[in-house]
Amino acid sequence: MTNAQHLQEGQPIPDFKLQASNGKSVSLEDFRGKKLVIYFYPADMTPTCTQESCDFRDLTPQIRKAGAEIIGISPDDLKSHGRFIEKHQLPFLLLSDPEHRVCESFGVWQLKKMFGREYMGVERSTFLVDGEGKLIKAWRKVKVKNHAQDVLDAVNGS
C-alpha cells in the first residue's frame, strides 16, 4: 500500500475494518458505490472536536443528498463514542481505532506538540472518497471553521 502521506487523488485509500458506534464492524467495502467522508479527530467531547462533529451533523442532510455518507474515526472507545453521539445527536457512525492502526495507515497518527510537550496523537484530517474507494480530496491539519462546508462543496463538485 502506498504511504498515506503521499496518497494522491485518484489512488485507492487504505482499506479498514473497525468497530462502530452501532456495535457492528464497519469496513470501506460497506460504502462501495457511495462517496464517503472520513474525518479523523483527536478525542470525543473536546471543544474543537465537538464543534467539528456538530458542523458535520448540521450538514449531514445536504451531504447525504449529494450521495455521500460520513464517518468519524478517533482512538476513543465505543462507550465514549456512544456518549458523544447521544449528547450531540450525531446522525452518523463513529469508529473506534484504539490501537490507531487505521490512523497510521492514513498517515494521521503523528507527533504533536502542546505546551512544550511532545506526544503522539491524531492530526485532524478529512478524506473524501469515491464509490470505488479512491481518494477524491484530502484535507490535513484541518482548521474547523468552515471546514464542513468546504467538504460539502467538494462532495457537490465531485
State how far the Cα of 17 lies from the Cα of 136, in Å rounded to an integer: 20
Domain residue extents for the chain = 33-157
State how far the Cα of 78 lies from the Cα of 69, in Å rounded to an integer: 20
Catalytic choice (4, 26, 49, 71): 49
**Beta carbons of 132 and 32 less than 8 angstroms apart:** yes
Q: Specify the DSSP class assigned to residue 14.
A: P
* Predicted pLDDT of residue 57: 98
Average pLDDT over the chain, rounded to whole? 93
Side chain identity, residue 128: L
Per residue in 14-70, pLDDT tens?
Answer: 999 999 999 999 999 999 999 999 999 999 999 999 999 999 999 999 999 999 999
* Predicted pLDDT of residue 38: 98
Judge whether 54 counts as a catalytic residue: no
| Sole residue written with cell 462501495 | 32
Beta bridge partners of 35: 68
Per residue in 59-84, pLDDT tens?
Answer: 999 999 999 999 999 999 999 999 99
Superfamily of domain 33-157: Glutaredoxin (3.40.30.10)
Q: Specify the DSSP class assigned to residue 33.
A: T
* Predicted pLDDT of residue 2: 38
For a pLDDT cut of 90, what percent of the chain falls above it? Answer: 89
